Amino acid sequence: MKTHNLKKGNAGEELAVTFLKNKNHLICDRNYKKPSGEIDIITRDGDTLVFIEVKYRKNLEYGYPREAVNRAKQKRITKTALWYLKDKKQEDVNVRFDMIEIYYMSDGTQVINHFEGAFSF
């Protein structure tokens, strides 16, 4: 990943973490990597373990950020979530897959959309 894109992604994740903490999510892990892929943020929302993909854009020139989370990306995230559950010995736990998109409107207004249960296994 280009350095610029990495910095942009990190900035988006920081905004998402702040947003999630304000919604009383407990941050468990960030940037969990396995050969199958990466999960940006993993939280606890009550008794549910939440795997969160964050997409950040400066503008909508290339479409809404959520459009980048296609079926192939979802499959990579769910495979990686299975690794996490195994590594952390999490059995019989409620799981949810969320997506957070962050972008700016032409007037500079920041938009954060949190899609709970955006996809499933």
Distance CA 25, CA 48 (A): 10
Where residue 80 sits, what CATH number does that domain have?
A: 3.40.1350.10
Q: pTM of the prediction?
A: 0.92
pLDDT number for residue 57: 93
pLDDT tens per residue, range 23-56 = 999 999 999 999 999 999 999 999 999 999 999 9
pLDDT exceeds cutoff 70 at 4: no
Q: Integer distance in angstroms from the first to the last C-alpha of the chain?
A: 27
Can you read off the two tokens belonging to residue 81? 């979530």
Q: Report the domain count for the chain.
A: 1
Listed in sequence order, the residues at least 6 apart from 33 whose beta carbon sits closer than 8 Å to its beta carbon are 80
Domain carrying residue 28: 3-119
Q: How confident is the model at residue 5 (pLDDT cuts 50, 70, 90)?
A: low
Distance CA 53, CA 70 (A): 11
Phi-psi region of 41 (alpha: psi -120 to 50; beta: other; left: phi over 0): beta
Amino acid 32 reads Y
